[in-house]
Structure 1
Amino acid sequence: MDLISVALVDKQPTGKLIAVQIKTGPSHFTETDDAYVFRGKLTHLDYWTNHSLPVILVAHFIETGETFWVHVDANHVKRTGKSWTIPIPKANRLGAGTRDVLVSVFDGSPPQQRMRKLAIDEPLMRHISEGGKVSVELEDWIHKSLGRSTVQVFIHDKDGNQTLTQEWVQYFTGYNVKALAEALFPWSVASVDEEFYEVHNEFDEDSGYFVLSGEPDEVYPYANSGGEVNCHRLKLELNELGLR
């Protein structure tokens, strides 16, 4: 099963995730006039319906290039002895125009979305609670109205070695770097990774590029690329939500 991030809605980062199960080829389905009916094992159904994320089932037919989808929930499922079936409507064609429908299907309440995000990030939070370090690399295109950043999440071991565990491209607007990090990781408080900056900082205090004010929430770059992109490395620590 794959995870997909609904990364941008109205130019704002959502942090929303959905799970996708993809089946290809006609052998997985029985065709009716208005649907492709999928049959699966009950163990799979229990796993999908109890998943911390909403799950969609996708049917892709290589021969025709057509792709269809359905939200796997109790309202669509029929149990039949040791198996279960779900119709995938032919009207549910997956394409560029599907985004708004999927956002609506998987919107959920803020508490639901928060719990889903916490479930996905639980290994990061556990690593921090056990005394480990998690940091995130973010970019700030200083001359662009629409922000864009490659988000890279690193876990550090006790010897200081780092491992890249997550990476994606995030579009956003109306967020500074600290606020963006805390929106993407709502269980965290973000601050400059001082250990990283001691080694990788490309600016000196006399350059005037940044001046430390002593404010605990101050965030500043450690490097700049081509006068266009500020590079930041932030350390994530647990906030009140992450400590629960």
Structure 2
Amino acid sequence: MGRVAIVTGGTRGIGAAIAVALQSAGYRVASSYAGNEQAAEAFRVETGISVYRWDVSSFDACAEGVARVEADLGPIEVLINNAGVTKDTMFHKMTPEHWHAVIDTNLTGLFNMTRQVWEGMRTRGFGRIVNISSINGQKGQAGQANYAAAKAGEIGFTKSLALEGASKGITVNAVCPGYVATEMVSAIPQEVLDRKILPHIPVGRLGQPGEVARCVLFLASDDSGYITGSTLSANGGQYLV
């Protein structure tokens, strides 16, 4: 039987594409979601992938959710930390609520989820963790001090945990997408895309969720065992690291 994988934020956008790619490669996949029950149910019906609702910003909810997944599918061997939110505003207008909503989901959520599976991976001598960061965690972005801080933190988390997991057969890597054609990016006015975003992407287009998913699929595979602590940029050349 295939390895068991969890994708957080796995019923829409990049997360949904990752879940489908893993399923197609033979993994037994669980997708978690936080709030959009209608979208999650439509995703479940369309793909047959099991969906589970919990808030990754809650440690206890993650513990309960992971326990449910393991009871249904078996021990988790692959974790894709994809869940994220944005609360964009210029810093002089940013409130503690703007800050904590993003940090608690995008960064603390990594701890909350990874802590649930880490000891099992250590005991079994195998694990794959892929954290979905962002180009804006690498280069910063006006109006996203909260988001960029969280996504930069994900990269530091990735590197540190990779050092701890290497001797136990666990790899930990990050993928930093650029601008990808998702609901989040679709909310940007076309004029802004045409004038301020696309001209700065050398390949001249937005990325597709499936292109990010293929990066994750490799890092989640047995074949990627010699790659850990790495940050893979999938941004069309917009920012070169």
When normalised by structure 2's length, the TM-score is 0.23
Q: Could you say which structure has the higher strand fraction? A: 1
Larger Rg: 1
The higher-RCO structure (CA 8 Å, 6+ apart) is 2
When normalised by structure 1's length, the TM-score is 0.23
